[in-house]
C-alpha cells in the first residue's frame, strides 16, 4: 500500500498508542503465570500479534476483545504435542524474549522469521544458550530449537541487545536451580531491561542485583496481577510530538506517563534542546514550534528515537550530529542509511557516517517519493517530513506501520491541519 501525504502542519490532540515493549513483557509474564488474567492493551500491533500467536502455540490460550486481552497460562493448558511452530514475523523482541523461555520449558520449537529478522544477530546469545543445554540451528528463515535450558552462570555483553538479557530474566526463574546473569561491559538500552525487571517483579519473581550481576533463585512461578494495563508508547507518540515541533499551532498528546521506564520519553528533552516549546501537564504533553536549531545527540540509549528526531533535524537551522548509533544498522532496515536516504529523497540534506548521521536543516523540503524500505519507523519519518514539503509525498509500502502503530495513518489524518 502506498500513501500520499499532502503538505501542511499537523495540529490538535491525540491519544498515544499502547507500548508494544510493555505489552510484550506483560503478556509473557501472564502466559507463564499461575492463573488466568486480563491485560488492558488498546493497540494490537503486528509485533504483539506475533507474541500472542507464539505464546498460544506454546500452550497458552490468549484472546482479545476490544482493548482487553485474556490470558490462560501455559501451565494451565498442558504441554503441546510435537514441535511448536512459532511465527514471530519480523519481531526481534518476540524471538529474543521467547528463545530462552522455550528452553526453560523444555519445548521443541521452530521459530519462523520474516523480513530482515533472519539476518539480525543472535550471537553470542545462541552460544550461551547452547552452552547451557539447548540445541539451536538456523536453516534459512527457520530457527530450530530443542533441549532443556540448564541453570548456571550466564554472561552476556551489555552493548549488543538488552533483549537477550530480558529473555533470560523471563526464563531463569523457571529453572530447577539458581542462576547468575552477569552483564559484561557497558549496558546500552538499560531502560528496556528495567522494564523487564519491573514486569517480573510485579509477577512475584524475586532476584538480587549487585552492580552488573543478577542472582536468580530457581523454582519460581510468575503470578502477574489481574487487570494490569500496557502504558502509552513514547516511541510511537514521538513521531507526532516531533510533528508538533514543526507546527505553529502545536500538538497535545494524552496517555503518556512522564515517569515511564521507556527510554524514548527522552524525546521531550531532545525537543527542548532543539528549541521547541514543550509543556508537560497533568493530562498530557504539549509541543509547539519555536526557533529550531541543530544539536548533538548520543543515540546509545535511544536508538528507536532517531527516525522521529531526524524529522526535526531536517528542518532545524544548522547541523544535527547523531553519534553512537551503529546499532541502527541492525533494525528492520539499515536505519543510518534509510534515514539519510529518506531525507535526501525529499530534498533535504543528510550524510551517513559509519556510526551516525549529520543532518543539515533546510527551511523547506521539496517532496516527492519516499521508500519505507519495509520499516515502520522510516514510513512514519517520511509522513512527518511531508508536513514541511512544497509538494505531496508518496510513501511506498506504507502498510508497514502496522508493525508497531496500526492506527498511525488514522491519527495522521485526524491531526492534519492547514497547509504551511
User: Three-state SS for 127?
Assistant: helix
Domain total of the chain: 2
* 41 and 149 fall within a common domain: yes
* 387 and 267 fall within a common domain: yes
- Helix, strand, coil % (nearest 5) of the chain? 35, 25, 35
Q: Residue 296: what pLDDT?
A: 98
* 274 and 199 fall within a common domain: no
Q: At what angle do helices 20-31 and 92-105 cross, to 10 degrees?
A: 10
In a domain, 223, yes or no: no
In a domain, 110, yes or no: yes
* 70 and 169 fall within a common domain: yes
Q: Residue 295: what pLDDT?
A: 98
* 58 and 70 fall within a common domain: yes
Q: Residue 114: what pLDDT?
A: 96
Give the range of the structural domain holding residue 132, as residue numbers without chain letter.
20-216
Residues with Cβ within 8 Å of residue 285, at least 6 apart in sequence: 241, 252, 253, 256, 258, 268, 278, 279
Q: Residue 417: what pLDDT?
A: 55
Sign of the C-alpha dihedral, residues 194, 337, 343, 411? negative
In a domain, 78, yes or no: yes
* Distance separating alpha carbons of residues 77 and 128, to the nearest angstrom: 30
* 307 and 399 fall within a common domain: yes
- Beta-strand pair 179-184/12-15: unpaired
Domain containing residue 48: CATH number: 3.65.10.10
The dihedrals phi and psi of 156, each to the nearest 5 degrees, come to -140, 145
Last residue of a domain, one of 185, 216, 247: 216
In a domain, 267, yes or no: yes
Last residue of a domain, one of 173, 190, 216: 216
Which portions of the chain are predicted below pLDDT 50? 418-420
In a domain, 212, yes or no: yes
* 398 and 276 fall within a common domain: yes
In a domain, 169, yes or no: yes
* 164 and 300 fall within a common domain: no
Q: Which residue has the cell 504441554?
A: 79
* 179 and 250 fall within a common domain: no
* 168 and 38 fall within a common domain: yes
In this prediction the pTM is 0.95
Residues with Cβ within 8 Å of residue 410, at least 6 apart in sequence: none
pLDDT digits (tens, 9 = 90+) for 362-419: 999 999 999 999 999 999 999 999 999 999 999 999 999 999 999 999 999 999 854 3
In a domain, 227, yes or no: no
Last residue of a domain, one of 160, 189, 216: 216
* 190 and 301 fall within a common domain: no
- Tell me which residues are annotated as active site: 304
In a domain, 237, yes or no: yes
* Distance separating alpha carbons of residues 110 and 57, to the nearest angstrom: 11
Q: Residue 202's Cα: distance from chain center in Å?
A: 21
* 266 and 327 fall within a common domain: yes
Amino acid at each position: 500500500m502506498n500513501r500520499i501525504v499532502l503538505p501542511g502542519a499537523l495540529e490538535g490532540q491525540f491519544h498515544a498508542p499502547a507500548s508494544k515493549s510493555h505489552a510484550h513483557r506483560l503478556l509473557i509474564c501472564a502466559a507463564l503465570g499461575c492463573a488466568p488474567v486480563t491485560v488492558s492493551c488498546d493497540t494490537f500491533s503486528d509485533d504483539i500479534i506475533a507474541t500472542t500467536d507464539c505464546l498460544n502455540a506454546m500452550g497458552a490460550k490468549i484472546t482479545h476483545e476490544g482493548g482487553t486481552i485474556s490470558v490462560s497460562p501455559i501451565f494451565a493448558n498442558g504441554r503441546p504435542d510435537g514441535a511448536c511452530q512459532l511465527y514471530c514475523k519480523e519481531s526481534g523482541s518476540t524471538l529474543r524474549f521467547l528463545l530462552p523461555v522455550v528452553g526453560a520449558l523444555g519445548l521443541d520449537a521452530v521459530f519462523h522469521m520474516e523480513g530482515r529478522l533472519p539476518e539480525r544477530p543472535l550471537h553470542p546469545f545462541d552460544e550461551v544458550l547452547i552452552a547451557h543445554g539447548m540445541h539451536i540451528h538456523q536453516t534459512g528463515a527457520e530457527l530450530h530449537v530443542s533441549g532443556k535450558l540448564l541453570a548456571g552462570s550466564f554472561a552476556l555483553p551489555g552493548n549488543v541487545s538488552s533483549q537477550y538479557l530480558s529473555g533470560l530474566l523471563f526464563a531463569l526463574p523457571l529453572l530447577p536451580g539458581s542462576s547468575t546473569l552477569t552483564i559484561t561491559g557497558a549496558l546500552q538500552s538499560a531502560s528496556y531491561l528495567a522494564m523487564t525487571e519491573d514486569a517480573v517483579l510485579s509477577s512475584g519473581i524475586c532476584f538480587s542485583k549487585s552492580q552488573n550481576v543478577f542472582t536468580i533463585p530457581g523454582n519460581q512461578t510468575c503470578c502477574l496481577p489481574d487487570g494490569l494495563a500496557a502504558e502509552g508508547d513514547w516511541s510511537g507518540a514521538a513521531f507526532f510530538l516531533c510533528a508538533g515541533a514543526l507546527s505553529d499551532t502545536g500538538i497535545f498528546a494524552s496517555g503518556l506517563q512522564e515517569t515511564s521506564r521507556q527510554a524514548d520519553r527522552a524525546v521531550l528533552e531532545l525537543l527542548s534542546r532543539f528549541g521547541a516549546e514543550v509543556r508537560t501537564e497533568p493530562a498530557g504533553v504539549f509541543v509547539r514550534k519555536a526557533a529550531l536549531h541543530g544539536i548533538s545527540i548520543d543515540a546509545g540509549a535511544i536508538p528507536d528515537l532517531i527516525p522521529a528526531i531526524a524529522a526535526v533535524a531536517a528542518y532545524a537551522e544548522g547541523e544535527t550530529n547523531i553519534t553512537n548509533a551503529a546499532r541502527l544498522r541492525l533494525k528492520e532496515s539499515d536505519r543510518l542509511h534509510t534515514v539519510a536516504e529518506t531525507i535526501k529523497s525529499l530534498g533535504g540534506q543528510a550524510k551517513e557516517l559509519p556510526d551516525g548521521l549529520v543532518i543539515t536543516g533546510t527551511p523547506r523540503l521539496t517532496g516527492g517519493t519516499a521508500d519505507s524500505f519495509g520499516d515502520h519507523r522510516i514510513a512514519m519519518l517520511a509522513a512527518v517530513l511531508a508536513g514541511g514539503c512544497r509538494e505531496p509525498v508518496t510513501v511506498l509500502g506504507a502498510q508497514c506501520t502496522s508493525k508497531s502503530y496500526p492506527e498511525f495513518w488514522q491519527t495522521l489524518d485526524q491531526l492534519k491541519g492547514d497547509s504551511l
